[in-house]
């Protein structure tokens, strides 16, 4: 059985045009040739051209998957040793969100300085949601032996108003929103990473519903 590793959140940013992707990587001290795979999300029907060689290239329609679902896929690939470095790119009308995840082996090999860990993740089918979302998150993460009271930054992407934290285990967590209003889980996760660094906090939690009301959640921890 393959020993799992904890993926690192290496870098994240925003460019006005996807064509700037190779230059952005270099600005983050990441050589494009280090990228094993790019996962590209776009609402455009036509296929996009790969910008990094020889990296594998996969394009997902944004309407078919929550961004958090794609984030979890990339994290699993790195945790299982299938990839050492994955680029996630999400095209929006006003620009492109970019994030790089990498393995501990890549950090050591290239002498990198990651920003955070993607410590754990889970997905719940819509049929499992028989309680308020914050209570549900508290229950399922407790089963993973995670102390929800340690979460200091929280991002929840769902239709409608945010739930009231009140006296839940999340009462000391601050709400964090993506930089751009149209962004989903990948942009929200970058905002959480930035909040952890700025406030010198330890733990953050991302939760996102997809169009079928499946819930995806990622636990992010400061390095």
Give the model's pLDDT for residue 175.
96
Mean pLDDT over residues 141-170, rounded? 92
**Which has more confidence, 177 or 1?**
177
Mean pLDDT over residues 13-29, rounded? 95
Our measurement of the distance from residue 51's CA atom to the centroid of its chain's CA atoms, rounded to an integer in Å, reads: 21
Other C-beta atoms within 10 Å of 198: how many? 9
Give the model's pLDDT for residue 17.
93
- The span from the CA of 208 to the CA of 81, in Å, is 26
CA dihedral 155, 90, 77, 208 (to 10 degrees): 30
Residue-wise pLDDT tens digits, 35-82: 999 999 998 777 888 899 889 999 988 766 789 999 999 999 999 999
What's the mean per-residue pLDDT of the chain? 91
Mean pLDDT over residues 177-184, rounded? 88
The residue count for the chain: 223
Global pTM?
Answer: 0.93
**Which has more confidence, 63 or 129?**
63
Token couple for 221: 């921890």
Residue-wise pLDDT tens digits, 91-116: 998 899 999 999 999 999 999 999 99
User: Mapping DSSP to helix (H, G, I), strand (E, B) and coil, where does residue 32 land?
Assistant: helix
Q: How far is CA 66 from CA 15, 106, 185, in A?
A: 21, 27, 7
């Amino acid at each position: 059985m393959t020993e799992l590793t904890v993926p690192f959140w290496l870098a994240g940013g925003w460019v006005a045009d996807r064509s700037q992707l190779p230059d952005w990587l270099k600005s983050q001290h990441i050589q494009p040739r280090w990228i094993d795979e790019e996962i590209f999300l776009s609402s455009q029907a036509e296929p996009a051209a790969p910008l990094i060689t020889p990296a594998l290239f996969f394009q997902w329609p944004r309407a078919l998957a929550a961004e958090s679902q794609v984030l979890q896929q990339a994290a699993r690939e790195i945790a299982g040793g299938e990839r050492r470095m994955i680029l996630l790119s999400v095209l929006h009308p006003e620009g492109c969100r970019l994030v790089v995840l990498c393995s501990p082996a890549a950090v050591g090999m290239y002498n990198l300085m990651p920003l955070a860990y993607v410590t754990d993740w889970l997905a719940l089918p819509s049929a499992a949601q028989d309680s308020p979302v914050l209570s549900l998150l508290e229950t399922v993460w407790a089963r993973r032996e995670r102390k929800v009271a340690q979460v200091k930054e929280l991002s929840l992407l769902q239709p409608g108003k945010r739930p009231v934290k009140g006296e839940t285990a999340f009462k000391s967590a601050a709400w964090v929103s993506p930089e751009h209003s149209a962004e989903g889980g990948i942009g929200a996760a970058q905002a959480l990473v930035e909040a952890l660094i700025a406030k010198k906090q330890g733990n953050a939690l991302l939760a996102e519903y997809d169009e079928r009301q499946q819930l995806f959640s990622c636990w992010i921890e400061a390095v």
